[in-house]
């Protein structure tokens, strides 16, 4: 009956984190910091855009974070983290060279392979830019593999915009249609004001060959999905990433469950056609 | 089938205890019946049908440490003692910052793997078929079914556990195992099934593990009529349970009635205490937290309660099940709709503890009767929702 001994079970445990070292810390905002990490065993994380990790600050706890960097960028990976709870507070107290625990990559990422050769419509609301950046950078690093790239990014206020240096670069690129909007304009803001749906007036969407990918709060999903459907894009081509409170990350603990689906396993990336069938998914 | 005379029971327990921890129902100092490790001379109680809690804890611990860690200063301790797993710090190139002061490198954690001595051979003795089935149903989550992860902590204990179940002769009024495909003499998960008859117990091995237990010398061959007597006990117990609902169609019913206002009526008096989840032999949700004293600590997983408002609360403040009725609905839907859809098993074995111990007398049977009826495909849907509304108010049987 025992194919493995108990000791072997436990050394194989999906609950055991690998050690990673903080090699860079960039303050992006009052509350957001971009952490660059490297696994101490020298291996690559091996993630797909849209996947997440469980990060441990030993003694404080473990929490899920989406991976913000593209797998095209080598041996390190980046997590953009808002300081708001225990683990994020504990992380902020760590410095360069300090170790954290990493489990993952976990979950289902964005369908990068099926997006090749197609047009990409990438829509981020608020912190949705954090996971979406992994896909954006991946696409831009392999730009010739994709059709037209449109990026829409909505944020509460100009002060809340993240990755500003990169936003400037994306804006400057001729092979990307990048547009931003904020709910509230500041004195220096010359861009669009209003929810991200207001940007749809300014773009054209080719319904036959565009893959829309959206990451943001539920209220954004509800409105953007309507817009995208109105463009004639079928439900099973609309890609969305959900936020849930993943705890174990491996389909056991129950926290992220929506109906019979564990978001940590079958998501966090879903098609709208899948989410539509799940009660509570869009709440 | 063998026969264990009553006067051989203690000898059998002692025999089992030679090679395993034996866990059996015993009264604690307050007279409450719990599964507890048995020692020679201790009184085992089989009269009361169910223990307060199922023996779930012996395989799926209420609190389980699975990691230990400590922070040690690099450099200082290294000279004096070999630190566990500490080799990693030396060969890493320093980051591009200014080097820290001599001998004062930043603290780092040393990770230690928890030893596995807490998965000893154990026999859970005298549990009822519904509690054995609780493991059987939970095994699907932790056992790697459907391509999911194999849980090393649960499975190490599970595979070291033998279940000796006892047929229920006189089910309680809250028992409903027969409504959920179970039986007072059910064998799901059971290694050896005992059935009390005149003068002792019949013993049937269901597995190789169970077969091995029959090697104990105190067993006799079944005498004339003893097998029939056991069958009579089983049949009478089965007949004594009046199934409170019709399980066929319940998953569809819960789906059809997802938005039914009766959810709001039925959940009104729930106080989110989670007693139902703690006494349940099937509920398996858990949380993971760190406990730390000074420089060393542990990572533990603990039973969680899906009625807790913080259960689904995300750091952003977003909470997909913020309202109590949604959490209430989730628990019943999980047991009778979501779980069967995913794992091909119900997540309820019909023990009825949730009914018995709910401080506000919420009755699972009433919830399932009220909200588990599918809308008839042909019939006018108005009729059904009207019926559901009436039953929500009166709580009467259909």
The pLDDT of residue B87 is: 34
Q: Which long-range contacts (CB under 8 A, 24 or more apart) does B387-390 make?
A: B388/B257, B388/B260, B388/B262, B389/B261, B389/B262
Closest CA–CA distance from residue A175 to any residue of chain B (Å)? 34
A-chain CB neighbours of B106 within 8 Å are: 95, 97-98
Distance CA(B221)–CA(B202), nearest Å, equals 9
Q: What was the pLDDT predicted at B39?
A: 94
- Is residue A14 located within the same domain as residue A91? yes
Q: Is B115 exposed, middle or buried (0-12, 13-18, 19+ CB in 10 A)?
A: exposed
**B298 part of a folded domain:** no
Give the number of beta-carbon pairs within 8 Å between A and B: 159
Query: Which two tokens mark B100?
Result: 């820290």
Selecting from B114, B156, B338 the residue whose C-beta is nearest the C-beta of A260 gives B338
Please judge whether A58 and B116 are an interchain contact, meaning their C-beta atoms are less than 8 angstroms apart: no
Does residue A195 lie within any of the structural domains? Answer: yes
Q: Given an 8 Å threshold on Cβ–Cβ distance, is A252 in contact with B142?
A: yes
- Domain boundary (A106, A135, A154) is at A106
* Residue B116 clears pLDDT 60, i.e. is over it: no
Q: CATH no. for residue A13?
A: 2.40.30.10
Is the link from the previous residue into A111 a cis peptide, with omega within 30 of 0? no
**Inside any domain, residue A69:** yes
Minimum distance, in Å, between the CA of residue B373 and any CA atom of chain A: 18
Could you list the residue range(s) of the whole structural domain that residue B278 is in?
Answer: 250-282+314-394
The total number of structural domains in chain A stands at: 2
Q: Which of A12, A217, A253 is nearest residue B152 as measured by Cβ atoms?
A: A12
Q: What is the DSSP string of B341-375?
A: HHHSS-S-----HHHHH-TT---HHHHHHHH-PPP
**Region A107-116: what's the mean pLDDT?**
96
pLDDT over 90 (residue B104): no
- Residues of chain B neighbouring A6 (CB-CB closer than 8 A): 116, 119, 152, 156, 159-160
What is the number of alpha carbons within 13 Å of residue A262 lying toward its C-beta? 24
What is the extent of the structural domain holding A203?
112-276
Tell whether the model's pLDDT for residue A45 goes beyond 80: yes
Confidence of residue B117 (pLDDT cuts 50, 70, 90): low
Q: Is the residue at B7 inside a domain?
A: yes
How confident is the model over B55-74, as a mean pLDDT?
85
B358 and B255 share a domain? yes
Residues of chain A numbered 202-261 and touching chain B (CB < 8 Å): 217-218, 243-245, 247-248, 250-260
The pTM of this model reads 0.87
Q: Is residue B73 part of a domain?
A: no
CATH number at residue A174: 3.40.50.80
- Please state the domain count of chain B: 2
Residue ending a domain, among A106, A136, A169, is A106
Interchain proximity A9–B108, CB inside 8 Å: no
Asked if residue A64 has pLDDT above 90, the reply is yes
With 0-12 CB in 10 A as exposed, 13-18 as middle and 19+ as buried, what is B65? middle
A61 in contact with B at a CB cutoff of 8 Å? yes
**Torsions phi, psi for B319 (to 5 deg):** -135, 105
pLDDT class of B80 with cuts at 50, 70, 90: very low
Pick the last residue of a domain from B189, B221, B240.
B240
- Helices (DSSP H) in A70-207: which residue ranges? 86-92, 112-115, 129-141, 164-172
Same domain, B324 and B223: no
Average of per-residue pLDDT across A238-262:
92
CA distance A3 to B152: 12
Q: What is the DSSP letter of B218?
A: T
Please give the distance of CA B320 from its chain centroid, rounded to a whole number. 26
Average pLDDT over residues B79-104: 40
Q: Is the pLDDT of residue A14 over 70?
A: yes
Contacts of B84 (CB under 8 A, 6+ apart): B110, B112
B133 lies in the same domain as B276: no
A204/A64 same-domain check: no
Cα within 13 Å of Cα(B255), Cβ side: 15
Same domain, A15 and A142: no
Residue in A with minimal Cα distance to B149: A250
Looking at the DSSP bridge assignments, the partners of residue B125 are B164
CB A179 within 8 A of CB A173: no
Q: Which residues contact residue A25 at a Cβ distance below 8 angstroms, ignoring those fewer than 6 apart?
A: A33, A34, A35, A36, A95, A96
User: Both B145 and B273 in a single domain?
Assistant: no
Same domain, B254 and B370: yes
Which CA distances in Å does A28 have to A95, A96, B366? 16, 16, 54
């Amino acid at each position: 009956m025992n194919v493995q001994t108990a000791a072997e079970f436990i050394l194989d445990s999906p609950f055991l984190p690998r050690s990673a070292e903080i090699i860079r810390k960039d303050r992006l905002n009052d509350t957001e910091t971009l952490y660059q990490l490297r696994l101490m065993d020298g291996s690559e994380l091996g993630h797909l855009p849209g996947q997440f990790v469980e990060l441990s600050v030993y003694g404080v706890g473990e929490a899920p974070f989406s991976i913000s960097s593209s797998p095209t960028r080598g041996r390190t990976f980046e997590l953009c983290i808002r300081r708001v709870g225990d683990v994020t507070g504990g992380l902020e107290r760590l410095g360069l060279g300090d170790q954290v625990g990493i489990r993952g990559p976990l979950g289902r990422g964005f369908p990068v392979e099926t997006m090749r050769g197609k047009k990409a419509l990438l829509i981020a609301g608020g912190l949705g830019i954090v996971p979406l950046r992994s896909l954006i950078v991946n696409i831009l690093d392999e730009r010739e593999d994709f059709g037209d790239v449109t990026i829409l990014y909505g944020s509460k206020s100009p002060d809340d915009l993240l990755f500003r240096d990169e936003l400037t670069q994306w804006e400057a690129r001729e092979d990307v249609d990048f547009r931003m909007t904020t709910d509230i304009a500041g004195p220096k803001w010359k861009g669009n004001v209003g929810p991200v749906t207001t940007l749809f007036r300014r773009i054209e969407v080719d319904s036959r060959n565009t893959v829309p990918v959206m990451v943001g709060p539920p209220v954004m999903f509800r409105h953007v999905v309507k817009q995208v459907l109105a463009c004639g894009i079928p439900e099973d081509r609309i890609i969305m990433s959900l936020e849930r409170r993943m705890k174990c990350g491996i389909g056991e603990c129950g926290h992220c469950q929506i109906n019979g689906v564990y978001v940590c396993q079958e998501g966090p990336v879903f098609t709208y056609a899948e989410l539509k069938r799940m009660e509570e998914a869009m709440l | 089938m063998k026969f264990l005379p009553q006067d051989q029971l203690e000898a059998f327990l002692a025999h089992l205890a030679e090679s395993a921890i034996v866990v059996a129902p015993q009264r604690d100092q307050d007279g409450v019946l719990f599964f507890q490790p048995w020692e020679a001379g201790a009184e085992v109680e089989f009269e009361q049908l169910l223990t307060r809690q199922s023996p779930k804890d012996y395989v799926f611990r209420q609190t389980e440490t699975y990691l230990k860690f400590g922070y040690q200063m690099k450099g200082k301790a290294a000279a004096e003692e070999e630190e566990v797993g500490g080799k990693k710090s030396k060969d890493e190139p320093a980051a591009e910052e200014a080097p820290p002061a001599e001998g004062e490198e930043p603290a780092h954690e040393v990770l230690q793997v928890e030893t596995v001595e807490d998965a000893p051979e154990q026999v859970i003795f005298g549990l009822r078929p519904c509690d054995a089935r609780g493991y059987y149903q939970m095994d699907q989550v932790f056992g790697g079914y459907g391509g999911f992860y194999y849980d090393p902590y649960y499975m190490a204990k599970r595979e070291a556990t033998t279940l000796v179940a006892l047929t229920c002769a006189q089910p309680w009024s809250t028992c409903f195992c027969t409504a959920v495909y179970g039986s007072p003499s059910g064998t799901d998960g059971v290694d050896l099934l005992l059935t009390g008859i005149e003068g002792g117990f019949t013993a049937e091995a269901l597995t190789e593990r169970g077969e091995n237990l029959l090697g104990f010398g105190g067993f006799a061959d079944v005498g004339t009529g003893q097998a029939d007597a056991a069958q009579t006990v089983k049949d009478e117990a089965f007949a004594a349970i009046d199934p409170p609902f019709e399980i066929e169609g319940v998953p569809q019913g819960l789906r059809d009635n997802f938005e039914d206002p009766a959810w709001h009526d039925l959940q009104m008096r729930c106080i989110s205490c989670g007693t139902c989840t703690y006494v349940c032999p099937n509920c398996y949700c858990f949380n993971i937290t760190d406990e730390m004293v000074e420089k060393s600590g542990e990572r533990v997983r603990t039973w969680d309660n899906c009625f807790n408002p913080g259960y689904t609360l995300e750091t952003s403040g977003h909470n997909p099940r913020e309202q109590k009725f949604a959490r209430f609905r989730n628990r019943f839907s999980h047991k009778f709709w979501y779980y069967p859809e995913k794992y091909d098993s119900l997540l309820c074995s019909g023990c009825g503890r949730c009914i018995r111990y709910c401080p506000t007398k919420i009755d699972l049977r009433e919830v399932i009767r009220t909200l588990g009826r599918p809308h008839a495909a042909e019939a006018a849907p108005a009729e059904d929702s009207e019926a559901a509304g009436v039953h929500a108010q009166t709580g009467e049987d259909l």
